[in-house]
Amino acid sequence: MKKETQKTVFIILGFGMDIRNVLKTDIFSMLKSEPDIRLVIFSPLADEAFKKEYESDNVIVEPTPSHRGFLTRRILAIKRYVWIKSTDVQTIKIRKPTITRIVKSRDIFFGKIARAIVRDDSKLLKILNRLQLFFFRDKKAKYYFDRYKPDLVFYTTLYARDICLEIEAQKRGIKTVCLIHSWDNPTAKGVFPVVPDKIVVWNEILKEEIAKHHEYPGKDIYVAGIPQFDIYYDKTRFMTKEQFFKKWGLDLYKKLITYATPMHGQAPFSPDIVNILYNAIKENYFSYPCQLLIRLHPRDFKERYKDFEGLNGIIIQMPGREADVKDRWNPTEEDMLTLAETMYYSDVLINVASTIAIDAVTFDTPVVCIGFDGYQEKPYLSSCRRFYDYDHIKNIVATKGVRVAYSREELLRFTDLYLKSPDIDAEGREKIRKEQCWRLDGNSGKRTADFILRYLNGIQQPV
Protein backbone atom coordinates (compact mmCIF):
# COMPACT_ATOMS: atom_id res chain seq x y z
CA MET A 1 0.00 0.00 0.00
CA LYS A 2 1.30 3.42 -0.95
CA LYS A 3 1.78 5.86 1.94
CA GLU A 4 0.16 9.27 1.58
CA THR A 5 3.50 11.08 1.49
CA GLN A 6 5.20 8.46 -0.65
CA LYS A 7 6.00 8.99 -4.31
CA THR A 8 6.24 6.15 -6.80
CA VAL A 9 8.88 5.80 -9.50
CA PHE A 10 8.66 3.23 -12.28
CA ILE A 11 12.00 1.84 -13.49
CA ILE A 12 11.66 0.11 -16.86
CA LEU A 13 14.42 -2.26 -17.95
CA GLY A 14 14.78 -3.82 -21.39
CA PHE A 15 18.16 -5.55 -21.45
CA GLY A 16 20.76 -7.16 -19.21
CA MET A 17 22.80 -4.08 -20.06
CA ASP A 18 20.18 -2.03 -18.22
CA ILE A 19 20.61 -4.14 -15.10
CA ARG A 20 24.30 -3.25 -15.25
CA ASN A 21 23.61 0.44 -15.93
CA VAL A 22 20.93 0.96 -13.29
CA LEU A 23 20.45 -1.80 -10.72
CA LYS A 24 24.19 -2.35 -10.25
CA THR A 25 25.01 1.35 -9.89
CA ASP A 26 24.27 4.20 -7.51
CA ILE A 27 21.17 5.06 -9.53
CA PHE A 28 19.28 2.21 -7.89
CA SER A 29 20.95 2.35 -4.48
CA MET A 30 20.29 6.10 -4.12
CA LEU A 31 16.66 5.90 -5.23
CA LYS A 32 16.09 2.86 -3.03
CA SER A 33 17.53 4.64 0.01
CA GLU A 34 14.97 7.44 -0.21
CA PRO A 35 12.42 6.71 2.56
CA ASP A 36 9.55 8.49 0.79
CA ILE A 37 9.97 6.79 -2.58
CA ARG A 38 8.53 3.49 -3.71
CA LEU A 39 10.18 1.84 -6.72
CA VAL A 40 8.43 -0.47 -9.14
CA ILE A 41 10.89 -2.26 -11.41
CA PHE A 42 9.54 -3.58 -14.69
CA SER A 43 11.90 -6.21 -16.01
CA PRO A 44 11.95 -9.00 -18.61
CA LEU A 45 13.36 -10.99 -15.71
CA ALA A 46 10.79 -11.19 -12.94
CA ASP A 47 11.25 -14.68 -11.55
CA GLU A 48 11.64 -15.51 -7.88
CA ALA A 49 15.45 -15.32 -7.99
CA PHE A 50 15.34 -11.84 -9.51
CA LYS A 51 12.73 -10.68 -7.01
CA LYS A 52 14.77 -12.07 -4.13
CA GLU A 53 17.80 -10.12 -5.34
CA TYR A 54 16.10 -6.76 -5.75
CA GLU A 55 12.78 -6.56 -3.90
CA SER A 56 12.55 -4.95 -0.46
CA ASP A 57 10.08 -2.96 1.62
CA ASN A 58 9.97 -0.15 -0.93
CA VAL A 59 10.92 -2.06 -4.10
CA ILE A 60 8.49 -4.14 -6.14
CA VAL A 61 9.35 -6.19 -9.24
CA GLU A 62 6.82 -6.70 -12.03
CA PRO A 63 7.21 -8.32 -15.47
CA THR A 64 7.57 -5.87 -18.34
CA PRO A 65 4.20 -5.94 -20.13
CA SER A 66 4.18 -6.59 -23.85
CA HIS A 67 2.26 -4.46 -26.35
CA ARG A 68 1.09 -5.60 -29.75
CA GLY A 69 -1.17 -2.68 -30.63
CA PHE A 70 -1.70 -2.58 -34.39
CA LEU A 71 -2.07 1.19 -34.72
CA THR A 72 0.86 1.91 -32.39
CA ARG A 73 3.18 -0.21 -34.50
CA ARG A 74 1.87 1.17 -37.79
CA ILE A 75 2.32 4.77 -36.69
CA LEU A 76 5.78 3.99 -35.38
CA ALA A 77 6.70 2.39 -38.71
CA ILE A 78 5.50 5.47 -40.59
CA LYS A 79 7.49 7.69 -38.23
CA ARG A 80 10.55 5.54 -38.87
CA TYR A 81 10.11 5.89 -42.62
CA VAL A 82 9.65 9.68 -42.44
CA TRP A 83 12.73 10.12 -40.22
CA ILE A 84 14.90 7.90 -42.44
CA LYS A 85 13.90 9.90 -45.51
CA SER A 86 14.65 13.23 -43.89
CA THR A 87 17.78 12.57 -41.82
CA ASP A 88 21.35 13.30 -42.87
CA VAL A 89 22.86 10.86 -40.34
CA GLN A 90 25.68 8.96 -42.05
CA THR A 91 24.98 5.74 -40.12
CA ILE A 92 21.39 5.64 -41.33
CA LYS A 93 22.46 6.26 -44.92
CA ILE A 94 24.73 3.22 -44.72
CA ARG A 95 22.12 1.09 -42.96
CA LYS A 96 19.22 2.33 -45.10
CA PRO A 97 18.89 -0.78 -47.30
CA THR A 98 18.61 -2.95 -44.18
CA ILE A 99 16.25 -0.63 -42.31
CA THR A 100 13.89 -0.04 -45.22
CA ARG A 101 13.51 -3.81 -45.69
CA ILE A 102 11.81 -4.05 -42.28
CA VAL A 103 9.37 -1.23 -43.06
CA LYS A 104 6.32 -2.81 -44.65
CA SER A 105 5.23 -1.60 -48.08
CA ARG A 106 1.90 -0.38 -46.72
CA ASP A 107 3.71 1.79 -44.16
CA ILE A 108 5.93 3.23 -46.89
CA PHE A 109 2.78 3.91 -48.92
CA PHE A 110 1.09 5.77 -46.06
CA GLY A 111 4.38 7.49 -45.25
CA LYS A 112 4.62 8.84 -48.78
CA ILE A 113 1.02 10.09 -48.61
CA ALA A 114 1.68 11.75 -45.24
CA ARG A 115 4.81 13.47 -46.58
CA ALA A 116 2.88 14.69 -49.61
CA ILE A 117 0.18 16.22 -47.39
CA VAL A 118 2.53 17.64 -44.74
CA ARG A 119 5.71 18.62 -46.53
CA ASP A 120 7.55 19.66 -43.37
CA ASP A 121 8.95 16.37 -41.97
CA SER A 122 9.56 17.88 -38.55
CA LYS A 123 5.96 19.00 -38.32
CA LEU A 124 4.76 15.63 -39.65
CA LEU A 125 6.67 13.72 -36.95
CA LYS A 126 5.03 15.86 -34.27
CA ILE A 127 1.61 15.12 -35.76
CA LEU A 128 2.37 11.40 -35.84
CA ASN A 129 3.48 11.55 -32.18
CA ARG A 130 0.14 13.10 -31.25
CA LEU A 131 -1.74 10.47 -33.26
CA GLN A 132 0.24 7.75 -31.51
CA LEU A 133 -0.90 9.04 -28.14
CA PHE A 134 -4.48 9.54 -29.30
CA PHE A 135 -4.93 5.99 -30.60
CA PHE A 136 -2.87 4.22 -27.94
CA ARG A 137 -4.77 1.77 -25.74
CA ASP A 138 -3.23 -0.91 -23.55
CA LYS A 139 -5.05 -2.75 -20.74
CA LYS A 140 -1.87 -3.93 -18.99
CA ALA A 141 -0.34 -0.46 -18.96
CA LYS A 142 -3.61 0.99 -17.66
CA TYR A 143 -3.72 -1.66 -14.95
CA TYR A 144 -0.22 -0.89 -13.65
CA PHE A 145 -0.71 2.87 -13.75
CA ASP A 146 -4.06 2.64 -11.98
CA ARG A 147 -2.63 0.25 -9.39
CA TYR A 148 0.63 2.06 -8.52
CA LYS A 149 -0.13 5.65 -9.58
CA PRO A 150 3.47 6.57 -10.53
CA ASP A 151 4.77 10.11 -10.14
CA LEU A 152 7.69 9.56 -12.54
CA VAL A 153 8.65 6.94 -15.11
CA PHE A 154 12.37 6.29 -15.64
CA TYR A 155 13.36 4.10 -18.56
CA THR A 156 16.66 2.95 -19.90
CA THR A 157 16.17 2.58 -23.61
CA LEU A 158 14.10 4.40 -26.19
CA TYR A 159 14.18 1.34 -28.39
CA ALA A 160 12.76 -1.45 -26.28
CA ARG A 161 10.48 -3.91 -28.07
CA ASP A 162 7.54 -3.05 -25.80
CA ILE A 163 7.04 0.61 -24.97
CA CYS A 164 3.49 0.59 -23.63
CA LEU A 165 4.43 1.92 -20.18
CA GLU A 166 6.45 4.73 -21.71
CA ILE A 167 3.59 5.77 -24.01
CA GLU A 168 1.02 5.48 -21.21
CA ALA A 169 3.12 7.81 -19.07
CA GLN A 170 3.28 10.41 -21.84
CA LYS A 171 -0.44 10.02 -22.53
CA ARG A 172 -1.25 10.67 -18.84
CA GLY A 173 1.17 13.59 -18.58
CA ILE A 174 3.37 11.85 -16.00
CA LYS A 175 7.00 12.94 -15.77
CA THR A 176 9.40 10.79 -17.80
CA VAL A 177 13.19 10.52 -17.81
CA CYS A 178 15.16 8.36 -20.25
CA LEU A 179 18.76 7.28 -19.74
CA ILE A 180 20.35 6.75 -23.16
CA HIS A 181 22.16 3.52 -22.41
CA SER A 182 24.52 3.32 -25.38
CA TRP A 183 26.62 5.63 -27.52
CA ASP A 184 25.06 4.55 -30.82
CA ASN A 185 21.41 5.25 -29.97
CA PRO A 186 20.98 8.80 -31.36
CA THR A 187 22.57 8.01 -34.72
CA ALA A 188 22.03 4.28 -35.33
CA LYS A 189 18.61 3.42 -33.94
CA GLY A 190 16.34 5.80 -35.81
CA VAL A 191 13.39 7.93 -34.75
CA PHE A 192 12.41 8.15 -31.08
CA PRO A 193 9.42 5.78 -30.65
CA VAL A 194 8.25 7.94 -27.74
CA VAL A 195 9.57 11.35 -26.66
CA PRO A 196 10.61 11.62 -22.98
CA ASP A 197 10.41 14.84 -20.98
CA LYS A 198 14.08 14.64 -19.96
CA ILE A 199 17.05 12.69 -21.28
CA VAL A 200 20.24 11.71 -19.44
CA VAL A 201 23.33 11.04 -21.59
CA TRP A 202 26.97 10.05 -21.18
CA ASN A 203 28.62 13.03 -22.78
CA GLU A 204 28.35 16.25 -24.76
CA ILE A 205 28.61 14.39 -28.09
CA LEU A 206 25.38 12.50 -27.39
CA LYS A 207 23.70 15.68 -26.21
CA GLU A 208 24.61 17.44 -29.44
CA GLU A 209 23.50 14.49 -31.60
CA ILE A 210 20.10 14.25 -29.92
CA ALA A 211 19.50 17.98 -30.21
CA LYS A 212 20.57 18.03 -33.85
CA HIS A 213 19.14 14.84 -35.30
CA HIS A 214 15.99 14.55 -33.19
CA GLU A 215 15.21 18.25 -32.70
CA TYR A 216 15.11 17.74 -28.97
CA PRO A 217 15.63 20.79 -26.74
CA GLY A 218 19.14 20.90 -25.32
CA LYS A 219 17.88 22.35 -22.03
CA ASP A 220 16.15 19.03 -21.33
CA ILE A 221 19.28 16.92 -21.86
CA TYR A 222 21.48 16.28 -18.83
CA VAL A 223 25.08 15.04 -19.13
CA ALA A 224 25.96 12.69 -16.27
CA GLY A 225 28.80 10.45 -17.46
CA ILE A 226 28.64 6.65 -17.81
CA PRO A 227 27.08 5.03 -14.70
CA GLN A 228 28.34 1.51 -15.44
CA PHE A 229 31.89 2.86 -15.56
CA ASP A 230 31.74 4.07 -11.95
CA ILE A 231 33.01 0.67 -10.84
CA TYR A 232 36.24 1.36 -12.79
CA TYR A 233 37.12 4.32 -10.58
CA ASP A 234 38.01 2.41 -7.40
CA LYS A 235 40.75 -0.02 -8.37
CA THR A 236 41.23 -1.10 -4.75
CA ARG A 237 38.24 -3.41 -5.36
CA PHE A 238 40.09 -5.24 -8.12
CA MET A 239 42.03 -8.46 -7.71
CA THR A 240 45.76 -8.06 -7.96
CA LYS A 241 47.27 -9.08 -11.29
CA GLU A 242 48.66 -12.21 -9.66
CA GLN A 243 45.20 -13.16 -8.31
CA PHE A 244 43.47 -12.42 -11.60
CA PHE A 245 45.93 -14.43 -13.67
CA LYS A 246 45.73 -17.36 -11.26
CA LYS A 247 41.92 -17.32 -11.31
CA TRP A 248 41.80 -17.53 -15.09
CA GLY A 249 44.72 -19.93 -15.54
CA LEU A 250 46.90 -17.30 -17.22
CA ASP A 251 50.69 -17.18 -17.31
CA LEU A 252 51.97 -14.19 -15.34
CA TYR A 253 55.12 -14.04 -17.47
CA LYS A 254 53.33 -13.71 -20.81
CA LYS A 255 51.65 -10.69 -22.36
CA LEU A 256 47.85 -10.81 -22.38
CA ILE A 257 46.01 -10.18 -25.65
CA THR A 258 42.25 -10.02 -25.13
CA TYR A 259 39.79 -10.46 -27.98
CA ALA A 260 36.33 -9.20 -26.99
CA THR A 261 33.99 -10.90 -29.43
CA PRO A 262 30.96 -9.10 -30.88
CA MET A 263 27.47 -10.59 -31.00
CA HIS A 264 27.43 -13.58 -33.34
CA GLY A 265 25.39 -11.90 -36.08
CA GLN A 266 27.67 -8.89 -36.24
CA ALA A 267 30.81 -10.88 -36.99
CA PRO A 268 30.29 -14.42 -38.27
CA PHE A 269 34.04 -14.41 -38.99
CA SER A 270 34.96 -14.09 -35.33
CA PRO A 271 36.52 -17.58 -35.02
CA ASP A 272 38.82 -16.60 -37.91
CA ILE A 273 40.22 -13.75 -35.81
CA VAL A 274 40.90 -16.15 -32.95
CA ASN A 275 42.64 -18.51 -35.36
CA ILE A 276 44.80 -15.72 -36.81
CA LEU A 277 45.88 -14.54 -33.36
CA TYR A 278 46.47 -18.06 -32.04
CA ASN A 279 48.60 -19.03 -35.02
CA ALA A 280 50.65 -15.84 -34.61
CA ILE A 281 51.25 -16.70 -30.95
CA LYS A 282 52.26 -20.28 -31.82
CA GLU A 283 54.62 -19.07 -34.53
CA ASN A 284 56.22 -16.53 -32.15
CA TYR A 285 55.26 -13.65 -34.41
CA PHE A 286 54.99 -11.17 -31.54
CA SER A 287 57.98 -9.60 -29.86
CA TYR A 288 57.02 -11.16 -26.52
CA PRO A 289 55.55 -14.51 -25.46
CA CYS A 290 51.76 -14.01 -25.46
CA GLN A 291 48.51 -15.67 -24.48
CA LEU A 292 44.98 -15.04 -25.73
CA LEU A 293 41.87 -14.45 -23.64
CA ILE A 294 38.58 -14.61 -25.52
CA ARG A 295 35.95 -12.50 -23.74
CA LEU A 296 32.60 -13.60 -25.19
CA HIS A 297 29.87 -11.09 -25.90
CA PRO A 298 26.67 -12.01 -23.99
CA ARG A 299 25.00 -12.56 -27.39
CA ASP A 300 27.79 -14.72 -28.76
CA PHE A 301 27.90 -18.51 -28.45
CA LYS A 302 30.69 -20.51 -26.88
CA GLU A 303 30.11 -23.35 -29.37
CA ARG A 304 31.57 -21.15 -32.10
CA TYR A 305 34.95 -21.44 -30.38
CA LYS A 306 34.87 -25.14 -29.45
CA ASP A 307 37.89 -25.83 -31.67
CA PHE A 308 39.99 -23.61 -29.39
CA GLU A 309 38.86 -25.03 -26.05
CA GLY A 310 41.67 -26.63 -24.09
CA LEU A 311 44.42 -25.32 -26.35
CA ASN A 312 47.56 -24.11 -24.61
CA GLY A 313 47.62 -20.33 -24.40
CA ILE A 314 43.88 -19.73 -24.95
CA ILE A 315 41.35 -18.93 -22.23
CA ILE A 316 37.62 -18.41 -22.89
CA GLN A 317 35.80 -16.07 -20.53
CA MET A 318 32.01 -16.20 -20.32
CA PRO A 319 30.15 -13.09 -19.10
CA GLY A 320 27.88 -13.29 -16.07
CA ARG A 321 24.67 -15.25 -15.80
CA GLU A 322 22.79 -16.19 -18.93
CA ALA A 323 19.25 -14.87 -18.86
CA ASP A 324 16.05 -14.72 -20.88
CA VAL A 325 16.47 -11.10 -21.97
CA LYS A 326 17.31 -9.65 -25.37
CA ASP A 327 21.06 -9.55 -24.77
CA ARG A 328 21.02 -12.84 -22.77
CA TRP A 329 22.81 -11.25 -19.81
CA ASN A 330 22.00 -10.85 -16.11
CA PRO A 331 25.26 -9.38 -14.78
CA THR A 332 26.48 -9.86 -11.25
CA GLU A 333 28.77 -7.44 -9.43
CA GLU A 334 31.51 -10.07 -9.66
CA ASP A 335 31.06 -10.16 -13.43
CA MET A 336 31.33 -6.38 -13.66
CA LEU A 337 34.54 -6.50 -11.63
CA THR A 338 35.86 -9.31 -13.84
CA LEU A 339 35.24 -7.19 -16.92
CA ALA A 340 37.04 -4.28 -15.28
CA GLU A 341 40.00 -6.46 -14.28
CA THR A 342 40.17 -7.96 -17.77
CA MET A 343 40.38 -4.54 -19.36
CA TYR A 344 42.89 -3.35 -16.75
CA TYR A 345 45.30 -6.28 -16.97
CA SER A 346 45.14 -6.79 -20.76
CA ASP A 347 48.15 -5.55 -22.71
CA VAL A 348 46.07 -5.10 -25.88
CA LEU A 349 42.30 -5.22 -26.41
CA ILE A 350 41.03 -6.36 -29.81
CA ASN A 351 37.39 -5.87 -30.82
CA VAL A 352 34.99 -5.26 -33.70
CA ALA A 353 33.60 -1.70 -33.49
CA SER A 354 32.34 -2.17 -29.93
CA THR A 355 31.70 -0.04 -26.87
CA ILE A 356 34.20 -2.26 -25.10
CA ALA A 357 36.92 -0.23 -26.80
CA ILE A 358 35.90 2.62 -24.48
CA ASP A 359 35.99 0.26 -21.48
CA ALA A 360 39.59 -0.59 -22.33
CA VAL A 361 40.63 3.00 -23.01
CA THR A 362 39.30 3.90 -19.55
CA PHE A 363 42.37 2.05 -18.24
CA ASP A 364 44.62 3.38 -21.02
CA THR A 365 44.78 -0.11 -22.51
CA PRO A 366 45.71 0.04 -26.23
CA VAL A 367 42.92 -0.98 -28.63
CA VAL A 368 42.97 -2.56 -32.09
CA CYS A 369 39.68 -2.63 -34.01
CA ILE A 370 38.96 -5.30 -36.61
CA GLY A 371 38.07 -3.85 -40.03
CA PHE A 372 38.28 -6.99 -42.18
CA ASP A 373 36.16 -10.12 -42.44
CA GLY A 374 38.55 -12.85 -41.37
CA TYR A 375 39.49 -15.16 -44.21
CA GLN A 376 36.67 -13.86 -46.41
CA GLU A 377 36.28 -10.81 -48.59
CA LYS A 378 32.85 -9.22 -48.51
CA PRO A 379 31.29 -6.26 -50.32
CA TYR A 380 31.20 -3.04 -48.30
CA LEU A 381 27.55 -3.23 -47.20
CA SER A 382 28.08 -6.77 -45.88
CA SER A 383 31.53 -6.13 -44.44
CA CYS A 384 32.50 -4.95 -40.97
CA ARG A 385 34.42 -2.19 -42.78
CA ARG A 386 31.18 -0.23 -42.92
CA PHE A 387 31.03 0.01 -39.12
CA TYR A 388 33.94 2.45 -39.11
CA ASP A 389 31.91 4.90 -41.17
CA TYR A 390 29.13 4.90 -38.56
CA ASP A 391 28.92 8.23 -36.75
CA HIS A 392 29.57 6.94 -33.23
CA ILE A 393 32.55 4.81 -34.28
CA LYS A 394 34.02 7.58 -36.42
CA ASN A 395 34.17 9.73 -33.28
CA ILE A 396 36.72 7.47 -31.59
CA VAL A 397 38.64 6.65 -34.77
CA ALA A 398 39.07 10.39 -35.39
CA THR A 399 40.90 10.77 -32.07
CA LYS A 400 43.66 8.43 -33.29
CA GLY A 401 43.36 6.72 -29.94
CA VAL A 402 42.58 3.33 -31.53
CA ARG A 403 43.94 1.62 -34.63
CA VAL A 404 41.70 -0.03 -37.21
CA ALA A 405 43.20 -3.11 -38.85
CA TYR A 406 41.88 -3.62 -42.38
CA SER A 407 43.88 -6.81 -42.97
CA ARG A 408 45.44 -9.76 -41.15
CA GLU A 409 48.85 -8.15 -41.56
CA GLU A 410 47.70 -4.88 -39.96
CA LEU A 411 46.05 -6.74 -37.07
CA LEU A 412 49.28 -8.51 -36.19
CA ARG A 413 51.47 -5.46 -36.82
CA PHE A 414 49.34 -3.08 -34.72
CA THR A 415 49.04 -5.63 -31.90
CA ASP A 416 52.81 -6.11 -31.78
CA LEU A 417 53.38 -2.36 -31.96
CA TYR A 418 51.24 -1.84 -28.86
CA LEU A 419 52.92 -4.76 -27.05
CA LYS A 420 56.32 -3.16 -27.64
CA SER A 421 55.24 0.48 -27.11
CA PRO A 422 52.02 0.72 -25.04
CA ASP A 423 52.39 4.50 -24.73
CA ILE A 424 51.86 4.99 -28.46
CA ASP A 425 48.51 6.74 -29.14
CA ALA A 426 48.14 7.58 -25.42
CA GLU A 427 47.21 11.16 -26.34
CA GLY A 428 44.38 9.88 -28.52
CA ARG A 429 43.15 7.56 -25.77
CA GLU A 430 43.06 10.51 -23.38
CA LYS A 431 40.93 12.36 -25.91
CA ILE A 432 38.53 9.41 -26.04
CA ARG A 433 38.24 9.44 -22.26
CA LYS A 434 37.42 13.14 -22.22
CA GLU A 435 34.96 13.00 -25.11
CA GLN A 436 33.18 9.72 -24.41
CA CYS A 437 33.42 9.24 -20.64
CA TRP A 438 33.10 12.94 -19.76
CA ARG A 439 34.02 12.38 -16.10
CA LEU A 440 35.60 9.24 -14.69
CA ASP A 441 35.11 10.14 -11.05
CA GLY A 442 32.87 7.29 -9.88
CA ASN A 443 29.87 9.61 -9.51
CA SER A 444 27.93 9.24 -12.77
CA GLY A 445 25.29 7.05 -11.12
CA LYS A 446 24.92 9.55 -8.28
CA ARG A 447 24.53 12.44 -10.73
CA THR A 448 21.86 10.52 -12.61
CA ALA A 449 19.93 9.64 -9.46
CA ASP A 450 20.21 13.21 -8.19
CA PHE A 451 18.82 14.49 -11.49
CA ILE A 452 15.86 12.10 -11.25
CA LEU A 453 15.14 13.12 -7.64
CA ARG A 454 15.32 16.81 -8.43
CA TYR A 455 12.97 16.47 -11.36
CA LEU A 456 10.60 14.28 -9.34
CA ASN A 457 10.46 16.88 -6.56
CA GLY A 458 10.28 19.92 -8.85
CA ILE A 459 13.67 21.29 -7.78
CA GLN A 460 15.63 23.51 -10.16
CA GLN A 461 18.23 21.46 -12.00
CA PRO A 462 21.91 22.46 -12.01
CA VAL A 463 23.12 23.96 -15.28
234-437: CATH number:
3.40.50.2000
Cα separation of 422 and 289, whole Å? 16
Cα separation of 159 and 399, whole Å? 29
In tens, the pLDDT along 226-253 reads: 999 999 999 999 999 999 999 999 999 9
Phi and psi angles of residue 62, each rounded to the nearest 5 degrees, phi first: -130, 155
Cα separation of 375 and 276, whole Å? 9
Strands (E) located in 72-226: 152-155, 175-179, 198-201, 221-223
In tens, the pLDDT along 200-211 reads: 999 999 999 999
Show Cβ contacts of residue 377 under 8 Å, excluding neighbours closer than 6 positions. none
**CATH among 3.10.20.600, 1.10.645.10, 3.40.50.2000, 2.102.10.10 for 7-67+138-229+443-456:** 3.40.50.2000
Is residue 347 helix, strand or coil? coil
Cα separation of 40 and 11, whole Å? 6
Q: What is the pLDDT along the chain (463 residues), one digit of tens a residue?
A: 556 679 999 999 987 788 889 999 999 999 999 999 999 999 988 889 899 999 999 999 999 888 778 888 889 889 988 998 899 999 988 887 666 666 678 888 888 999 999 999 999 999 999 999 999 999 999 999 999 999 999 998 788 777 899 999 999 999 999 999 899 999 998 899 999 999 999 999 999 999 999 999 999 999 999 999 999 999 999 999 999 999 999 999 999 999 999 988 888 999 999 999 999 999 999 999 999 999 999 889 899 999 999 999 999 998 877 666 666 678 889 999 999 999 999 999 999 999 999 999 999 999 999 999 999 999 999 999 999 999 999 999 999 999 999 999 999 999 999 999 999 999 999 999 999 999 999 999 999 999 999 999 998 766 5
Where in the sequence of the chain do the CATH 3.40.50.2000 domains occur? 7-67+138-229+443-456, 234-437
Which is nearest to 17 in space by CA: 187, 186, 263?
263
